Chains A and B, each alone.
Chain A
Amino acid sequence: MKKAIVFKNVSKNYKQLKAVDGISLTIEKGEFFGLLGPNGAGKSTLINMMAGLVKPSNGSIDVMGFNVNKEYQEARHSVGIVPQELVFDPFFNVREMLRFQAGYFGKDKLNDKWVDEVIERLDLTDKASTNMRKLSGGMKRRALIAQALVHRPPVIVLDEPTAGVDVELRQKLWSFIKELNNEGHTIVLTTHYLEEAEALCNRVAMMKSGKIVALDSTKNLLKEFSLKNLKVRLQKNSIKKITTLLKETPFDQEDDWCTFKLKKVSDASNIIEKLNSLKIQILDLKLIESDLENIFLKLTSKN
């Protein structure tokens, strides 16, 4: 069995609204999978259906071969979810909360060693006896991640794990999540930070209005949708000139920089030649490669 998560024609309707619209998707064991999309795209609804927090209107979801509705106990043993919101139980400290969470999964005192290891690996040792209320946002986020790991699930789902987290902590969380993936955990990450998906994920699905609009390896997506832009800096009076003279070569202007979208690299030399033939002086130039953000914006933009 190689499949970690299988979504089969999954839909969720809220009256007229189709929050998730017939999604079929398979995530293999050991993958680092990214789920991207703007707010309201349906990412969290999809995750919540997998976690059993929301019931699908149609379709089925299996985690490690267990149906999340019919075999919910086995399915929930197989998955650890880090929720998006910084939620916590204000009555308990970090260690107590983690031990309770492990206990709900049937883990007894023998598991306490693992709980302490998770605490240590997430740099929470100093705060283990601190009440959850007294933790900073970053520490609460770490405690949430620890909570998802205490029952040793093979699949870990992180719903916007680095939202509102400072750069240093983000880097630490990235390396910790990478470590988990290297240890064999299947990771599903939803994120707004495209650089995060680009740096971490082997494969990415982009969602819009409840549907998947792109699904491929991060590498292939970058290759397939790659756009190269030529940016040239011109004198301001020259910009006015080329607006009329280069009607067939559209460009975007920002201050004295003009950006030309290239279909192929050779287009760059054609544009430079044209500018030279028009005796327009080039003050500076850059060739820019597109990143996941460009692809994301292209795929999810209204037009």
Chain B
Amino acid sequence: MNTFRDQFIGTWTLLKKELLRFWRVAFQTVAAPVITGILYLLIFSQVLGDRLEVYEGINYLVFLIPGLIMMSLLQNSFSNSSSSLIQAKIMGNIVFLLLTPLSYLQLFFAFLIAAIVRGMFVGICIYVIAMFYVDLPVEHPWFVFIFAFCGGGLMGAFGMIAGIWATRFDQMAAFGNFVIMPLSMLSGVFYSIHSLPPMWQKISHFNPFFYMIDGFRYGFFGQSDTSPYLSLMIVLSFFIILSFITIRMLKSGYKLRN
């Protein structure tokens, strides 16, 4: 009765709705993070500009751009799935999804892909605007893509966990302010961790955001603070673990079906 075709249409419909949801408020969901990213660029290019060279032959502004792109991508992927779920829960319209034959895997993939698409879209917008300022090389495009995809997916899954767990908007804000923001700011977006004291370098290695930023940056410059393969393994592992937790939560109906 519930054929593969039905399932495909169901998943596609939810994905389309999730994409339209953020597109309807693109001023808030796309324009705002792009402008924030561009402001960072403008400020740092004025203050530091050509005065610093982080990697050999790469000035600070060029070094900064991939980090900013990835930071915005991660934050927006998280925001997409988390805000959609918390809003639907608080407004009560989550019931329209829960009454349908959509399986936990269909829900997972639709929310996940929508999160990745929004994150990547914001990232591409920043990249396109940044190209007006600097010439940004892309040494390993596949690394750029795979880190963008896995980073967006990891944060999309994390956003789902937060959206399912939180029951109030302030709990969700706490996730953003006390987890996402500090981890992304201290991940090496604005600096190479080699410029930190040894103890902080070690601490940085416990931050999963560091590997996402560093691996993504490797895709552009062919240089990174740590091995891109190690970064890829760690990012993939986190992606799989968080996806597993999300799927378990959706399957059990945790905070959704009781």
Contact = CB atoms under 8 A, between A and B. Distances in A.
B6 interface: yes
Interface stretch (B14-22, B195-203, B215-223): B14-22
A74 B2 contact: yes
A73 B103 contact: yes
B92 A87 contact: yes
Nearest to A89: B93
Contact of B100 (A54, A74, A104): A104
Contacts, number: 86
Nearest to A157: B99
Contact of B10 (A54, A72, A87, A103): A103
B103 A53 contact: no
Given A107-B9, A108-B9, A53 B97 contact: no
B51 interface: no
Interface in A85-102: 85, 87-92, 96, 100-101
Given A52-B257, A91-B20, A100-B17, A74 B95 contact: no
Interface in A34-61: 51-55
A77 B1 contact: yes
A15 B97 CA distance: 27
A106 B7 contact: yes
A85 B91 CA distance: 10
Nearest to B2: A73
B257 A106 contact: no
A83 B95 CA distance: 8
B142 interface: no
A162 interface: no
A104 B5 contact: no
Given A85-B92, A106-B10, A53 B257 contact: yes
29 contacts: A52-B98, A53-B95, A53-B98, A53-B99, A53-B257, A54-B257, A54-B258, A55-B253, A55-B258, A76-B101, A77-B2, A83-B92, A87-B92, A87-B93, A89-B88, A90-B91, A91-B24, A96-B20, A100-B13, A100-B16, A101-B100, A103-B9, A103-B10, A103-B16, A104-B13, A104-B14, A106-B7, A106-B9, A106-B10
The 8 closest A-B pairs by CB, nearest first: A106-B6, A103-B13, A87-B92, A73-B101, A104-B100, A73-B2, A76-B101, A74-B1
Interface of A: 51-55, 72-74, 76-77, 81, 83, 85, 87-92, 96, 100-101, 103-108, 147
